[in-house]
């Protein structure tokens, strides 16, 4: 049995197999740049357990084949890949913690030349320090301090916003039959905005049907939405409905007439993760 585990060809095969983990991390990095990853309700424990177990298993496989050149390279390139995964998921640390642990352990355990590891280690350390610092600075400068709360049937009664609105009316206006455009490509939603002034109620339109659903999680489209109308003040809900595939009709609480808005969604905002809206 010991001879089998010492067989160079088995180690080489395991080393190639470990590329799957790196590929998954790359795919997850790209996916969370383009979408917002949300773990499905009731699947949190299963997702976290499977995620940690898979990461731990691949770490064992990499350590087993660490003297193979492919694993050496793998151990050196994981840290810069995970760096972007960290940036795109700063608000959801569970997404990047397992790959980050694997990347750090494999970098230090890699059988790569020490001088190369010192050079790359210095570069990677500066990358993480400067990158994360820049992320927080940009978020502080660019993001708004206003708190948006989506008004729909998913709003918890424990949320302080809940008591500000007639939720029976909210659920009538925000049911899927009313919010989704006739051709099924767009959906409007209403947000309560708490800010330093009197607050606002805003009507937004976003794409519909572009989310990617999986067993444990959903990739939700992000970075594409249009602000149609806002009302200064909280506690009231405008009347809103679709007149046709591209026209949203609304009547604000302080108005007696209906207005139409032709909806053309903007280009995707790829920098939402740093607070650019």
SS3 assignment, position 150: strand
C-alpha distances in Å from residue 108, one per residue of 68, 102, 126, 143: 15, 10, 17, 37
% of the chain with per-residue pLDDT over 90? 81
Name beta bridge partners: 192.
Answer: 149, 201
Q: Which of 199-203, 238-242, 251-255 has the lowest mean pLDDT?
A: 251-255
Q: How confident is the model at residue 274, as a pLDDT?
A: 86
Does residue 110 have a pLDDT over 70?
Answer: yes
Q: What is the C-alpha separation between 50 and 94, in angstroms, rounded?
A: 12
**Looking at residues 253-262, what average pLDDT do you find?**
90
**Looking at residues 74-96, what average pLDDT do you find?**
94
Task: Decide the pairing of beta strands 247-251 and 217-221.
Answer: unpaired
Return mean pLDDT, the chain.
92
Is 153 in contact with 174 (CB distance < 8 Å)? Answer: yes
């Amino acid at each position: 049995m010991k001879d089998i585990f010492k067989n160079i060809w088995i180690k080489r095969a395991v080393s190639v197999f470990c590329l799957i983990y790196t590929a998954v991390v790359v795919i997850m990095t790209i996916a969370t740049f383009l979408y917002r990853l949300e773990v499905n309700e009731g699947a949190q424990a299963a997702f976290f357990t499977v995620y940690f177990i898979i990461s731990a298993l691949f770490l064992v496989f990499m350590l087993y084949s660490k003297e193979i050149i492919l694993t050496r390279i793998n151990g050196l390139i994981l840290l810069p890949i995970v760096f972007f995964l960290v940036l795109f998921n700063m608000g959801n640390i569970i997404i990047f913690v397992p790959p980050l642990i694997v990347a750090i352990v494999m970098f230090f355990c890699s059988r790569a030349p020490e001088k190369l590891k010192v050079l790359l280690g210095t570069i990677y350390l500066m990358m993480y320090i400067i990158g994360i610092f820049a992320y927080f600075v940009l978020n502080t400068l660019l993001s708004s301090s206003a708190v948006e709360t989506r008004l729909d049937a998913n709003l918890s009664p424990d949320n302080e916003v809940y008591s500000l609105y007639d939720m029976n009316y909210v659920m009538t206006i925000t049911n899927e039959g009313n919010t989704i455009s006739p051709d099924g490509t767009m959906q409007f939603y209403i947000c309560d905005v708490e800010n330093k002034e009197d607050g606002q109620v805003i009507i937004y339109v976003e794409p519909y049907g572009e989310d990617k659903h999986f067993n444990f999680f959903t990739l939700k489209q992000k970075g594409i939405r249009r602000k149609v109308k806002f009302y200064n003040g909280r506690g009231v809900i405008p009347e809103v409905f679709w007149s046709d595939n591209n026209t949203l009709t609304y009547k604000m609480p302080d108005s007696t007439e209906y207005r139409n808005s032709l909806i053309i969604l903007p280009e995707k905002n790829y920098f939402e993760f740093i607070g650019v809206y």
